[in-house]
Amino acid sequence: MRDAVLERLAGLLRRLHASLARQESFWHRGLAHEAGWWERWVVEEGRRWPDEFRERLDPETPLREELILELLPSIAHDPVRVLDVGAGPATSLGKMHPERTLEIVAVDPLADEYEALWRDAGIRPPVPTKRGIGERLVERFGTAAFDIAYARNALDHMIDPLAVVEQMIAVVADSGYVVLRHSQNEATKARYRGLHQWNIVLEGSDLVVRRPRHEINLSAQLARRALLTCRQNGETVTCVISKRPAAKTPMMRRIAIVGPPAAGKSTLAARLGKALGIEPDHLDALFWNPGWRPTPPDEWEAKHRALLARSRWIVDGGFTVSMPERFSAADTVVIVDPGPLACTLRAIRRRLVFSVTRAPGMANVSRPHFDLQLFRWIWRFRRDKLPEIFSALEAATPGTRVVHVRGRSDVRRLLDEASEQATRRNDDRHGP
């Protein structure tokens, strides 16, 4: 117990120090910590990850990064040049593809130290890591030198994550991509130990990095220069950044809205429906009959399938069992998650406001549920239900867009986009 308390106190002190000290000083001190970790990894042949150790050293290891595999068809030429930024002693990307020729360049500021480690171990990795600092990639390689620049669990190690991503964008060709894959809130988990000095999170659809007293919204900063498509799956945040001019956002015609109780799903569905000219459907209203009597299973399944067969629809509601089918038919999935406290306050307000009249989305019942079970659903949503949503998203078609709505700014952005799409649709219909 005493050791745990002391370790927690040490983490708090490191965080306080991180908020007051210059990032460069932390980075230079953290390099020694990072080199020591990888030294043990090499000496112990992967430590707890022996399979990964063997794969990194196997020249026949296939390319396994799904995000890059999805991008390969859009790159017409061979070889496909990939830059792995912050690769460590040996790239984890893999080296082979059955139909494409890959040319992988791995860079890391500790490349010289890694070379010494491999030399002492009598091993030469198939892709030796070259010395390179993320904030100075253009100086090292020039512009438009690669098709893809990739970073996995590396941005949280950098002095200036925004500068690193800008450099990655600069070193890829005009039709190239930047691919990011990171664990969220790694600095907090590591208690700001070593190089872990930035937390990486997805807020709405925005990619954000932050540390004490400093926050950078990468999506906002890069919006004029690139198109960012970011997702979160459990604890992993991924982002594909296109250097190409941002194309018009695909039309939203089939929208599935999910989230915890009292998150504002029905309200958002109504506002989106008004903007797009689509009458929304509320699953609760379709499923529940007066007196909270459920629709028989066969009848419900027929209703649900008929709804999804339409060319344009907006549907809000959970209903986990039917979620994969709904996501498979949708072109846009909106996850509304303002947080348990906001949902709790909204549930109380909804109970007061709709104590007599019917709440939106509950057309067939007198008023919404208001009991202990409701608050359990709200407070356990992120732990119990959100993983089920991410699992159901696996059924979605590859082009399905996922939008996270956590606050008013996300709602406003989505509604502005819907209004712009409605205008574009009318222009296309009537012509010049």
Are the C-beta atoms of residues 148 and 82 closer than 8 Å to each other? yes
Residue 366 pLDDT exceeds 70: no
The predicted model gives 133-143 an average pLDDT of: 90
The predicted model gives 146-173 an average pLDDT of: 91
Residue 312 pLDDT exceeds 70: yes
Mean pLDDT rounded to a whole number for the chain: 84
Higher pLDDT, 69 or 212: 69
Do the bridges between strand 227-233 and strand 236-242 make them parallel or antiparallel, or are there none, so unpaired? antiparallel
At 236, which amino acid appears? T
Check residue 400 and give its pLDDT.
Answer: 87
Residue 102 pLDDT exceeds 60: yes
For residue 10 the two structure tokens come to 């040490």
Check residue 352 and give its pLDDT.
Answer: 78
- For residue range 279-303, list pLDDT tens digits in order: 999 998 888 887 778 889 999 999 9
Is the domain defined by 254-430 classed in CATH 3.30.110.40? Answer: no
The predicted model gives 373-401 an average pLDDT of: 87
Residue 193 pLDDT exceeds 90: no
Residue 152 pLDDT exceeds 50: yes
- For residue range 211-259, list pLDDT tens digits in order: 887 888 999 888 878 889 999 999 999 999 998 654 566 789 999 999 9
Contacts of 59 (CB under 8 A, 6+ apart): 95, 96, 126
Residue 261, SS3?
Answer: coil
Higher pLDDT, 350 or 354: 350
Residue 255, SS3?
Answer: strand
Same fold, 2-242 and 254-430: yes
- The DSSP letter of residue 45 is T
What are 119-127's contacts with CB under 8 Å, separation 24+?
121/42, 121/43, 123/42, 123/57, 125/56, 125/57, 125/89, 125/90, 126/57, 126/58, 126/59, 126/90, 126/95, 127/90, 127/91, 127/95
Superfamily of domain 2-242: Vaccinia Virus protein VP39 (3.40.50.150)
Query: How far, in Å, CA of 212 to CA of 191, rounded?
Result: 12
Check residue 151 and give its pLDDT.
Answer: 96
pTM of the model: 0.54
The predicted model gives 389-398 an average pLDDT of: 85
Check residue 211 and give its pLDDT.
Answer: 84
Selection from 258, 76, 99, 71 nearest residue 181 by Cα:
71
Check residue 208 and give its pLDDT.
Answer: 93
Residue 346 pLDDT exceeds 60: yes
Give me the percent of the chain exceeding a pLDDT of 90.
44
Check residue 358 and give its pLDDT.
Answer: 54
Higher pLDDT, 360 or 351: 351
Domain extent listing, the chain: 2-242, 254-430
- Beta-bridged to residue 107, according to DSSP, are 85, 130
The predicted model gives 354-378 an average pLDDT of: 64
Check residue 73 and give its pLDDT.
Answer: 93
> What single string gives the DSSP state of each residue in 268-333?
HHHHHHHHHT--EEEHHHHHEETTTEEPPHHHHHHHHHHHHTSSSEEEE---GGGHHHHHHH-SEE
The confidence band for 75, taking pLDDT boundaries of 50, 70 and 90, is: very high
Query: How far, in Å, CA of 139 to CA of 133, rounded?
Result: 10
For residue 299 the two structure tokens come to 């009848």
Q: Give CA 323 to chain center in angstroms.
A: 20
Q: Cβ-count burial of 258 within 10 angstroms (0-12 exposed, 13-18 middle, 19+ buried)?
A: buried
Q: HEC states along 206-241?
A: EEEEEECCEEEEHHHHHCCCCEEEEEEECCEEEEEE
Check residue 244 and give its pLDDT.
Answer: 61
